[in-house]
Amino acid sequence: MVALRIALLAVTALAAQVELEKRISVPSVDLTSNSTRVPKAIITSKNGANVTISGLALPGYDAYLGIPFAEPPDRSYGGGFIAGAASTYISGPMIQYGVDTKRPFILVAMNYRLGILGWGYGKDVAQNKAGNLGIRDQILALEFVRDHISAFGGDPAKVTLFGQSAGAISTSIIMLNQTQNLFRGAIMQSGAQSTAPITNTSTGWNAPYNNTAQNAGCMAPNTTNLGNLTTWQCLKRIPADTLMAAAAKTKASLQYSLPYIWAPSVDGDIVPESPWKMLQEGRFSRVPFITGNVRDEGTGTLPTWLNSSIPLSFAFGLLQPQVSNPSSFLKVLAAYPNVTALGSPYGTGNETFGLDPIFKQAASIVGDEAFQSRRRYFIRQANKFNFTRTWSYEFRGETPGAPPYTGRRGMMNYWINFAYYLDPNGNMTHNPHVNTTNTTVTYAKGNWKNPAVRQKKGQDGKKDGAQKDKGGKHALERTVWRPHAFPENKNAMLFAPGNLTMIQDDYREQQMQVFDGPEMAKDLNYRRGIL
């Protein structure tokens, strides 16, 4: 038994648990410079000591990051760097499942600044080194876990960073730091470094910054709050709710309603250069990782009012912080024609769900351009530099009545195994009954115990919990999740209703090739400013 529990950290994080005869006492933790002005929460740690946490929580301003949903959402797109709450990822069922299967872990969910407070663009933001403050908050949270998780029964050497959507993007960006030592593994759901088009802090999205400043009365023609201050000083001094209302008004306008106008940027520090270029050169942290997408990423990111009266080139242009070459979009349209049966949601034929057929075309483009192709680029670049402790997946949802091991329980098993062993299959090197050359394996015989797969029926009649019967009469079949090792293979796990199946990550391969290459990468702001 390990001495400490692993930690699963959510942007969210996992940490392995152990019993300590004597735990570190942390009588108080003050995260603010003026703790008398912010609320405090007092909790009791495992050694009985009270721990006071001081800080400011802004409901609705915290990215969707972290732990898998107890039941996957119908929209994969999280907070988009402007909304969400850490409480969304306090997954009681997953925590209990870890306990029931004798793999307990500590779950830590972090809040951090969102919107203009955490992800500003513009000359003022760059000059005041205020870009990527959201990532700085995340790094601070990771440092807190490293320094204090042992007081809560966690092992600082066994932290897994977990992110979904904006959280996955953030996690992947932190992984660009080759020397980071804050976590030993990462799980990224629906996001990679350039999912949100990224450009230089000083040159990208200046217009939304100016618009927000005007809405806040800090820039001409609206100088209500400006006085003798500079625009930056004014924005810092006005009440937070005034600033957030001004930012919300900006985001509500048509031209800024679609894009990531507040998002990670190339600031020369946290993100030193274009992520596209850094991955091209193999500059990333060599920590094992899982990365994947849901099948229809684009459907949850686009407004339903899209129709043929609005040129796709217009909508597509709104997504980019700097204007792309028109010829690039023509290449994209050639690869993704307006054929309803080929659009997203995939596999739905000519059904349009009451929407204009152009919606399915646009959803296919955005889903592949922003999510699928960026994940594929990341994992293949990692493999190119001989790092193959990488796993990929596609999630197609859960069907009521399907066996639980094919849905959320199956995914939780893999996720917890990864947090414990840095391998979603668990500690298979010591399992005498596993032939990893086969696609599926049955855990049924002998005394070897893998609580992730040997289960008993609980009171609800569902298979759940650790199997104590050494004969293994309640054995389950599990698919061995093989690593992705491009170009030798393109292995990916398909989480589909009714089964778990290994597939090749080559769907729409030819279409997605349109998003590769240096010129397209530049036009799509994967590598803006890098010639």
Q: What is the pLDDT of residues 203-217, one digit of tens each?
A: 888 899 999 999 999
Is residue 37 scored above 50 in pLDDT?
Answer: no
Average pLDDT over residues 339-350: 95
Any domain includes 441: yes
**Distance separating alpha carbons of residues 383 and 105, to the nearest angstrom:** 29
Any domain includes 361: no
Is residue 487 scored above 90 in pLDDT?
Answer: yes
Average pLDDT over residues 314-334: 78
Is residue 248 scored above 50 in pLDDT?
Answer: yes
Average pLDDT over residues 41-66: 33
Which of 46-55, 57-66, 407-416, 470-479 has the lowest average pLDDT? 57-66
Q: What is the pLDDT of residue 4?
A: 56
Any domain includes 45: no
Is residue 141 scored above 90 in pLDDT?
Answer: yes
Q: What is the pLDDT of residue 428?
A: 67
Q: Is the distance from CB of 478 to CB of 500 less than 8 angstroms? A: yes
Any domain includes 134: no
| Residue 190: φ, ψ to 5° | 65, 60
Any domain includes 152: no
**What domain count does the chain have?**
1
Is residue 318 scored above 90 in pLDDT?
Answer: no
Q: At what angle do helices 206-215 and 240-252 cross, to 10 degrees?
A: 130
Share above pLDDT 70 across residues of the chain, in percent, rounded to a whole number: 70
- The DSSP symbol for 358 reads H
Q: What is the pLDDT of residue 403?
A: 42
SS3 letters across 33-67: CCHHHCCEEEEECCCCCEEEEECCCCCCCCCCCCC
Radius of gyration, CA atoms only, the chain: 24
Residue 74 binned pLDDT confidence (cut-offs 50, 70, 90) = very low
Top mean pLDDT of 71-75, 108-112, 356-360, 394-398 is at: 356-360
Is residue 430 scored above 60 in pLDDT?
Answer: no
Q: What is the pLDDT of residue 67?
A: 26
Any domain includes 171: no
Sign, CA torsion 343/347/350/354: negative
Q: What is the pLDDT of residue 395?
A: 92
Pairing of strands 185-189, 154-164: parallel
Q: Is the distance from CB of 43 to CB of 51 less than 8 angstroms? A: yes
Q: What is the pLDDT of residue 356?
A: 93
Residue 453 binned pLDDT confidence (cut-offs 50, 70, 90) = very low
First vs last C-alpha separation in the chain: 53
Q: What is the pLDDT of residue 444?
A: 32
Concatenated DSSP letters of 252-318: HSHHHHSS-SSS--B-SSSS-S-HHHHHHTT-S----EEEEEETT-GGGTS-TT--TTS-HHHHHHH
- Helix ranges (H only) for 119-230 are 123-127, 133-148, 166-174, 206-215
Q: Is the distance from CB of 121 to CB of 265 less than 8 angstroms? A: yes
Q: Is the distance from CB of 455 to CB of 467 less than 8 angstroms? A: yes
Which of 118-122, 138-142, 464-468 has the lowest average pLDDT? 464-468
Q: What is the pLDDT of residue 140?
A: 95
Average pLDDT over residues 282-310: 90
**Higher local confidence (pLDDT), 93 or 83:** 93
Average pLDDT over residues 398-420: 69
* 320 contacts: CB under 8 Å, gap ≥ 6: 197, 259, 524, 525
Q: What is the pLDDT of residue 56?
A: 30
**Using omega within 30 degrees of 0 as the cis cutoff, is the peptide bond preceding 221 cis?**
yes
Top mean pLDDT of 15-19, 40-44, 287-291, 322-326 is at: 287-291
Average pLDDT over residues 162-166: 89
Q: What is the mean pLDDT of the chain?
A: 76
Is residue 432 scored above 50 in pLDDT?
Answer: no
**Distance separating alpha carbons of residues 430 and 434, to the nearest angstrom:** 9
Q: What share of the chain is helix, strand, coil (3-state, %, to 5)?
A: 35, 15, 50
Any domain includes 248: no
Pairing of strands 106-109, 40-44: unpaired
Which domain range does residue 454 map to? 427-480
| Nearest alpha carbon to residue 160 among 480, 425, 423 | 423
Share above pLDDT 90 across residues of the chain, in percent, rounded to a whole number: 48
Phi-psi region of 61 (alpha: psi -120 to 50; beta: other; left: phi over 0): beta
Q: Is the distance from CB of 18 to CB of 103 less than 8 angstroms? A: no
**Distance separating alpha carbons of residues 10 and 12, to the nearest angstrom:** 0
Residue 10 binned pLDDT confidence (cut-offs 50, 70, 90) = low
Residue 427 binned pLDDT confidence (cut-offs 50, 70, 90) = confident
CA 147 to chain centre: 24
* 480 contacts: CB under 8 Å, gap ≥ 6: 425, 428, 434, 436, 438, 439, 440, 441, 502
